[in-house]
Structure 1
């Protein structure tokens, strides 16, 4: 099912479009593997400093090559132009290194859909698991994965070692399952009643008291806003990486949302906990069914459903509301429409629809 829409001419992409970051490259790689369509990208990560390919983005290119036998031109650190031609994605077991503080969750999300569509397999990913500007491992497991399950997609994830900035040195294993029967439609117009708020406070290689301070501050900050929660403090297995994280998961009647705050040198543990709680409060003040990150990340499975890539489905539409319309969301919509016969409509107020073109 992956790699079947052959076209002679590559998809031409401008990497400075919209948010102009690494997301354009990662999603282009994923969509290229799924459709079999090569692409040519200029101005890679033009809106980032430094621009061009960085080691973590190069790892995504190498990962796409590994699972498909694909070929690239220009794949080097600092490059501003890249050509990628996919091969057929092969089910199997793959071990991939992102390097130091590169994001393993982002590499996983890049390769998950093509591998699932090809019949599944195993990904052992080594690098960072809890990093700034990236979904954390706990977000992927607690929020992203339950939502993609609604599309007939699934994986079993196991954290071997946590990896924090700047050392990385984390690892997790993902057993990716083949696609199952897709839904006819996915509708998430509202989040519904709040059912549970769980505060998870984690430390790796640092005193356990830090986790207790983080969670205590998070619970107190939520209570001040009339939001009641329960907390769990846990150590994370690490090698030579150290760090802390507060992850708050909000379970609603219809949806799930997640909020991550990472510790860093010089930042009091209490501030880490309060930061995650403040993100929850901001989300509660919005009208979105999905948090802004999930509102972006759900676009790809929604587009696969609309394009018939997950199997026969009618009408194959997805409708939802997001807490905030971000540049990531609108850029992702633009990119998806370049590869798949779908129409993505994003309203200024946060209503999103993904439908067959």
Structure 2
């Protein structure tokens, strides 16, 4: 195969230097039809190279676009992906660990939008994992916002999976689009009510309500079936500390008066890059994850991003407008 000469080379160690570069590059390769070669994958991490959830995400995308994946082994620091035609239908990915199903969804959702019909995705692993979006965040926060681009998917949580065993299962149905619409999220509006949800997997005491001392909001405590293991003190964090951290994180993101929080901003970059037209999003400080996403999106699409400081008398911090002239990718299969 003369893949290397035509492939776009991506340095997997730049900027944030983690799995996000893999997910974005693989998704955009699949959508645009460009072959990619990613080198120095997760080079700066304590365990460099592909971990099981990264490999599963790559295999899922390769499967979805009838592609050819080279270097797809645990620990590999270099991979080549040559995409084919995006296929709708049923696709399954199982990390066989507590690896995040939400990160699997991050890589496969944009690709499934450009199929010829609806796709059913069975994703297995951790639904509520550390260092990754929670499935509740994906459904309650991410989903309503990406719907503004014209993205429509249904998410059915069959079983929750926790660290360290995983065992969660989510069924996702994704409908294809002809093209994505740009969004304007520059006016937040007034906050009228705040709700919190605390999931207790069988053995933790209901202490999360201590967060009330920091910010008044209504907490729903939801009992979840006990996980496969009794080891629930992830990193030894107490329940009341989790509540306080959640409240402080919320306050930090309310104060900048942006329309998206620090975790959503980078997840929207790929949709801004693919949409037809100009998107604008008001946010707080631009994260390294977001800067990395923009770097990859500009390498693999015709999208052009600009970030400008925004004067806002309602904000105690500087806010920014992320603007993108989208590349207007049209689904050739519809």
TM-score by length of 2: 0.88
Deviation at 1:205, TM superposition (A): 3.0
Provide structure 1 residue ranges, at least 5 long, that are not aligned to the other structure.
Answer: 1-6, 224-228, 245-262, 307-315
Q: Residue 330 of structure 1 contacts residue 346 of structure 1 at CA under 8 Å; is this kept in 2?
A: no
Q: Does 1:336 align with 2:306?
A: no
Aligned to 1:213: 207
For residue 150 of structure 1, give the secondary structure of its aligned residue in structure 2: helix
Deviation at 1:140, TM superposition (A): 0.3
Q: Does 1:25 align with 2:22?
A: yes
The CA deviation string for residues 37-95 of structure 1, in whole angstroms up to 9 with x for no partner, is 11001111122221111111111111112212211111111111111111211100122
Deviation at 1:13, TM superposition (A): 0.6
1:288 pairs, out of 244, 252, 258, with 258
Distance 1:242 1:170, change over 3 A: farther
- Greater than 6 Å deviation, 4+ residue runs: none
Distance 1:317 1:242, change over 3 A: farther
Q: Residue 180 of structure 2 contacts residue 271 of structure 2 at CA under 8 Å; is this kept in 1?
A: no
For residue 350 of structure 1, give the secondary structure of its aligned residue in structure 2: strand
Distance 1:181 1:33, change over 3 A: closer
Matches within 5 A, 1:336-355: 336-347=297-308, 349-355=319-325
Q: Does 1:266 align with 2:236?
A: yes
Q: Does 1:36 align with 2:38?
A: no
Matches within 5 A, 1:48-127: 48-118=45-115, 119-127=117-125
For residue 305 of structure 2, give the secondary structure of its aligned residue in structure 1: strand
Q: What is the aligned length?
A: 314
Deviation at 1:19, TM superposition (A): 0.7
- Tell me how far apart the structure 1 counterparts of residues 213 and 135 of structure 2 sit (CA, whole Å): 25
Deviation at 1:11, TM superposition (A): 1.0
Provide structure 2 residue ranges, at least 5 long, that are not aligned to the other structure.
Answer: 310-318, 328-334
Deviation at 1:218, TM superposition (A): 2.1
Deviation at 1:182, TM superposition (A): 4.4
Deviation at 1:99, TM superposition (A): 2.0
Deviation at 1:350, TM superposition (A): 2.4
Aligned to 1:176: 174
Deviation at 1:288, TM superposition (A): 2.0
Aligned to 1:4: none
Deviation at 1:195, TM superposition (A): 2.1
- Tell me how far apart the structure 1 counterparts of residues 293 and 14 of structure 2 sit (CA, whole Å): 10
For residue 65 of structure 1, give the secondary structure of its aligned residue in structure 2: helix
Aligned to 1:226: none
The CA deviation string for residues 106-129 of structure 1, in whole angstroms up to 9 with x for no partner, is 101110111122032111111011
- Tell me how far apart the structure 2 counterparts of residues 338 and 53 of structure 1 sit (CA, whole Å): 22
Q: Residue 60 of structure 2 contacts residue 93 of structure 2 at CA under 8 Å; is this kept in 1?
A: yes
Deviation at 1:356, TM superposition (A): 4.0
Deviation at 1:324, TM superposition (A): 2.0
- Tell me how far apart the structure 2 counterparts of residues 288 and 237 of structure 1 sit (CA, whole Å): 36
Deviation at 1:243, TM superposition (A): 7.8
- Tell me how far apart the structure 1 counterparts of residues 67 and 103 of structure 2 sit (CA, whole Å): 20
Deviation at 1:153, TM superposition (A): 0.7
Q: Residue 272 of structure 2 contacts residue 326 of structure 2 at CA under 8 Å; is this kept in 1?
A: no
Distance 1:243 1:278, change over 3 A: farther
- Tell me how far apart the structure 2 counterparts of residues 34 and 265 of structure 1 sit (CA, whole Å): 38
